[in-house]
Structure 1
Amino acid sequence: MAHDPDSARAEAEEAQRERARAERARHEQGLGARLGSAVKEVVVVLAMALVLSFIVKTFLIQAFFIPSESMEDTLLVGDRVVVSKLSPTLVDVDRGDIVVFDDPGNWLDPAPEVNRGAALNAVRDALMFVGLLPDTSEGHLIKRVIGLPGDHVQCCDSEGRLLVNGTAIDEQVYLRPGAAESNQEFNITVPQGRVWVMGDNRGDSSDSRYHDPGGTGAEGSVPIDRIVGKAVVMVWPLDRIARLSDHDDVFADVPDPGDRAFGMAPRPTPSAR
């Protein structure tokens, strides 16, 4: 039988086109597989980063935004600080520490909600939840610890200085320049399991002094279990990055509250809190 050259050529061309289509399909399939694998890797990395950030924020450190003037000039409005959550769980809180704590009971006025729209609000809340954005500090306060459990804290001696367990302390190193130690007299004993806190800007700080109507320290002091952590470093703005000092030298001469001269029980050990 005679062979038709045109038919043979058409078959060859069709076979070539089929091979080309098969090659394109294999290439596209390979590209899709590589793209899918890359996407999976990115998702896994992001998920691990979010989980790690959440763990760090929950158990180790957390960033907070400073919303008020109560700690000036140590901390200014808009500053960001990093808080170590090892205190008070693993590391004891001490006099002079700057601590962030949950509102112990109506210290704060209700904060007005800032509505940026449902989508942006959800993104902001999610990023704060996992620790990728600093906490807005709503529901939290930041102050300096002045008295520990059992301490006798009093304002003031003849020179206007606070007395802690009968010893006058010189706070000028961290108080806002020109600020008096206190414009309100008090004479309290810090209950067990609690601390007495005050802001560095004493004239503009709604602290333990103003939330203790009974004048005994029972209501104005803050339960230790309400402390979120100790502020250790300021990270924003960049020109103010610095370690936050607890100024332990200020309290170096303060005796233990168990001293017989004060007739008080000794400070409890961490296991007794």
Structure 2
Amino acid sequence: MKKRIDHLPNWAKNLLWFAMWLIIFMIIRNLFPILLVSGPSMEPTLHDGAFVLTSALDESYERGDIIGCWGENEYADVRIVKRVAALPGDEVNVIAETGVVIVNGEVVVDEEHGAPVDPEQLAEFPMIIPEGKLFVLGDNAAVSADSRIKDLGLIPMENVIGVKLFGH
């Protein structure tokens, strides 16, 4: 390759190197997006202003994964960071008065960590998570806008930006 570019002027060589590095940067940026946590909804795990390195390579999600995704409904233009609480086929129930969240008969958010949810804002429960959707929660249920409420709802898997690799 060196012989092919030797005849080029320096500005053209520099432009080629710049273009190559730009392409490499764009590939890495799309495969490993870095997301900013906005607000206290993921505390104490992730704090407001934390950066989270994610991987867009793995599209198999598990309960407990922290993901970055585009919201739905009222949050359609917002990138959010939440924890996957339920997968397609899982049964989810939320008790509005206490904020308790139950997935497949197992309490995943108890009364101590839950927060009452306004019945007017609560999605319809119990529900079976449909194919292609995820039920997500913030770790700080008292302040988290998540799949419990109609304004966000379930997250389509195609909205997932990446799964957390590193961040604190």
TM range (shorter): 0.7 to 0.9
Counterpart residue number, 2:93 = 154
Q: Which amino acid aligns with 1:76?
A: H
**1:99 aligns to 2:67 (yes or no):** yes
- Of structures 1 and 2, the one with the larger relative CO (CA 8 A, separation 6+) is 2
**1:220 aligns to 2:159 (yes or no):** no
How much does 1:179 deviate? 6.0
The 2-side partners of 1:161 and 1:204 are apart by: 14
Seen in structure 2, the aligned counterparts of structure 1 residues 87 and 211 have a Cα distance that, compared at 3 Å, is farther
The equivalences for 1:86-235 within 5 A come to 86-88=57-59, 92-107=60-75, 139-155=78-94, 162-169=101-108, 180-184=113-117, 186-211=125-150, 220-234=153-167
The structure with the larger Rg is: 1
Structure richer in strand, relative to its length:
2
Deviation per residue, 1:56-83 (Å, 9 max, x gap): 222x111111222111111111111111
Seen in structure 2, the aligned counterparts of structure 1 residues 40 and 179 have a Cα distance that, compared at 3 Å, is farther
Whether the 8 Å CA contact 2:99–2:116 is kept in 1: the answer is no
Counterpart residue number, 2:49 = 78
The 1-side partners of 2:158 and 2:23 are apart by: 25
Counterpart residue number, 1:64 = 35
Structure richer in helix, relative to its length:
1
What's the TM-score once normalised by structure 1's chain length? 0.50
SS in 1 for 2:25: helix
Q: Which amino acid aligns with 1:55?
A: I
Seen in structure 2, the aligned counterparts of structure 1 residues 179 and 76 have a Cα distance that, compared at 3 Å, is farther
Deviation per residue, 1:101-150 (Å, 9 max, x gap): 11222126xxxxxxxxxxxxxxxxxxxxxxxxxxxxx6211111101001
Whether the 8 Å CA contact 1:155–1:182 is kept in 2: the answer is no
Deviation per residue, 1:210-243 (Å, 9 max, x gap): 127xxxxxx7211111111112101xxxxx5xxx
The 2-side partners of 1:224 and 1:208 are apart by: 13
The 2-side partners of 1:179 and 1:65 are apart by: 28
How much does 1:42 deviate? 3.1
What's the TM-score once normalised by structure 2's chain length? 0.77
The 1-side partners of 2:135 and 2:112 are apart by: 19
How much does 1:55 deviate? 1.4
How much does 1:94 deviate? 0.9
Q: Share of identical aligned residues, percent? A: 30
Seen in structure 2, the aligned counterparts of structure 1 residues 153 and 71 have a Cα distance that, compared at 3 Å, is same
SS in 2 for 1:204: coil
SS in 1 for 2:114: coil
